[in-house]
Amino acid sequence: MTKTGYNVKTIEWQNDEVVMIDQRILPLEETYIHHRTWQEVADSIKTMAIRGAPAIGVAAAMGMALAAMQSPAATYEELKEDLDKAARGLYETRPTAYNLGWALGQQARIYEKEGDPGQIRQRLKQRSQEILDEDVAMCVAMGEHGAPLFPEGACILTHCNAGALATGGYGTALGVIRSVFKRDKNIKVYVDETRPFLQGARLTAWELGQEGIPYCLITDNMSGYFFKKGEIDAVVVGSDRIAANGDVANKIGTYTVSVLAKAHGVPFYVAAPTSTVDLSLPDGDHIPIEEREPAEVTRFRDCECAAPGTPVCNPAFDVTPHENVTAIITEAGVHREPYAESLAAAKKGK
Ligand code: MRU
């Protein structure tokens, strides 16, 4: 797989196959999975071989293109039936990431208009590549907008992985950090390990290491200690869905970090493309929160960490109220309270 200037390549077309780095086994192994069907892509999204809201969106768009190629349909009606089925299957994989439905909507615009099946197949593949390219461009723009918000030599805390792996490339929150590092080599990043899937320990630490950005891995319950010692100057995280009022769904544990940041007077920034903003939801209470397998909490790889039958809760995301968010960084700029108007304007500008 060819690597871009950002060292990490998450997903790409190789001829008529969709190739993804397997994020379940990083950083121990760099293995790539080849997908020839939309069902294989759906499985990779569900099982988190690919994860992170923007990357899930790109994968879903490519999955739709595969569905069109797989379909033996000769007529528009037959093709549409197969594509509707694939769209439903892909949509059901993960409920919180808004980019998933957004990307499927982009593809639906193409195939819902009656047309020649051959041309629809071609357009779906082309649009999926555009979605990937646009995502990288949006991440780079977020980096440009976000970098000036950080003081010199900043110690920045991040949660989960909102890097190149979670997007088409470059990253949202990690993209901002990359852009800060380009200007200032004296920054340091505190990386929350992010229980239970360990996106911070396994993926963010790995990405930062590849780029030579100084970082320190901490367990999730250590951040309060570092806030209290005055060692954290700013927080930046990504998002899976942002409601119209600026409430932010992100990886479980983000809300806790936002409360700590507020209590210690530390700015809390969210970086996300406008494709993550869901204007149809008035606030975060309406955001669907995915509940994942208990086994993610009770075991790690082959190791059981709890007694058999232990009752478990495993919500994968939480919602940070907009009052705890200092600013939201999108490709359109830096948004501050009140968010409703400026987020709507940014979306409209697309
Ligand atoms: O469950 P995941 O790993 O898909 O969750 C990912 C996150 O919560 C990220 O922080 C979010 O998608 C932003 S990624 C640019």
Do both 169 and 135 map to the same domain?
Answer: no
Determine the atom of ligand 1 nearest the C-alpha atom of 94: 4
Q: How far apart are CA 193 and CA 180, in angstroms?
A: 22
Do both 56 and 150 map to the same domain?
Answer: no
Do both 159 and 124 map to the same domain?
Answer: no
Q: Is pLDDT above 60 for 72?
A: yes
User: Is position 240 annotated as part of the catalytic site?
Assistant: yes
CA 249 to centroid of ligand 1, rounded, Å: 9
Instruction: Give pLDDT, residue 4.
Output: 43
Instruction: Give pLDDT, residue 183.
Output: 97
Instruction: Please indicate, yes or no, if residue 2 is contained in any of the structural domains.
Output: no
Q: Is the peptide bond before 117 cis (omega within 30 degrees of 0)?
A: no
Split into its structural domains, the chain has a count of 2
Q: What is the CATH number of the domain that holds 33?
A: 1.20.120.420
Q: Is pLDDT above 50 for 5?
A: no
- Range of the structural domain that residue 127 is part of: 11-140
Which 3 state secondary structure label does DSSP give 59?
helix
Instruction: Please indicate, yes or no, if residue 218 is contained in any of the structural domains.
Output: yes
Instruction: Please indicate, yes or no, if residue 37 is contained in any of the structural domains.
Output: yes
Distances (CA, A) of 301 to 219, 245, 313: 18, 39, 19
Q: Which of 20, 100, 132, 160 to mutate to test the pocket of ligand 1 (most atoms within 8 A of CB)?
A: 160
Query: Strands 248-251, 317-320: parallel, antiparallel or unpaired by DSSP?
Result: antiparallel
Q: What integer is the mean pLDDT of 36-65?
A: 98
Q: Which DSSP string corresponds to 62-75? A: HHHHHHHHH----S
Q: Is pLDDT above 90 for 6?
A: no
CB 64 within 8 A of CB 83: yes
The verdict on the CB of residue 192 being under 6 Å from ligand 1 is: no
**Tokens of residue 169, six digits:** 């490339």
Instruction: Please indicate, yes or no, if residue 1 is contained in any of the structural domains.
Output: no
Q: What integer is the mean pLDDT of 197-223?
A: 97
Instruction: Give pLDDT, residue 75.
Output: 98
Do both 117 and 175 map to the same domain?
Answer: no
Do both 126 and 194 map to the same domain?
Answer: no
Q: How far apart are CA 304 and CA 312, in angstroms?
A: 14
Backbone angles phi, psi at 269, to 5 degrees: -105, 145
**Domain stop point among 82, 111, 140:** 140
**Domain stop point among 89, 107, 140:** 140
Nearest to 201 by CA among 271, 327, 301: 301
Instruction: Please indicate, yes or no, if residue 23 is contained in any of the structural domains.
Output: yes
The verdict on the CB of residue 316 being under 6 Å from ligand 1 is: yes
Instruction: Give pLDDT, residue 1.
Output: 54
User: What's the pTM?
Assistant: 0.96
Angle at the Cα of 54 from the Cα atoms of 98 and 13, rounded to 5 degrees: 130
Q: Which of 176, 202, 239 to mutate to test the pocket of ligand 1 (most atoms within 8 A of CB)?
A: 239
The verdict on the CB of residue 327 being under 6 Å from ligand 1 is: no
The verdict on the CB of residue 54 being under 6 Å from ligand 1 is: yes
pLDDT digits (tens, 9 = 90+) for 29-45: 999 999 999 999 999 99
pLDDT digits (tens, 9 = 90+) for 168-180: 999 999 999 999 9
Instruction: Give pLDDT, residue 81.
Output: 98
pLDDT digits (tens, 9 = 90+) for 85-101: 999 999 999 999 999 99
Do both 106 and 29 map to the same domain?
Answer: yes
pLDDT digits (tens, 9 = 90+) for 118-146: 999 999 999 999 999 999 999 999 999 99
Do both 65 and 214 map to the same domain?
Answer: no
CA 263 to centroid of ligand 1, rounded, Å: 25
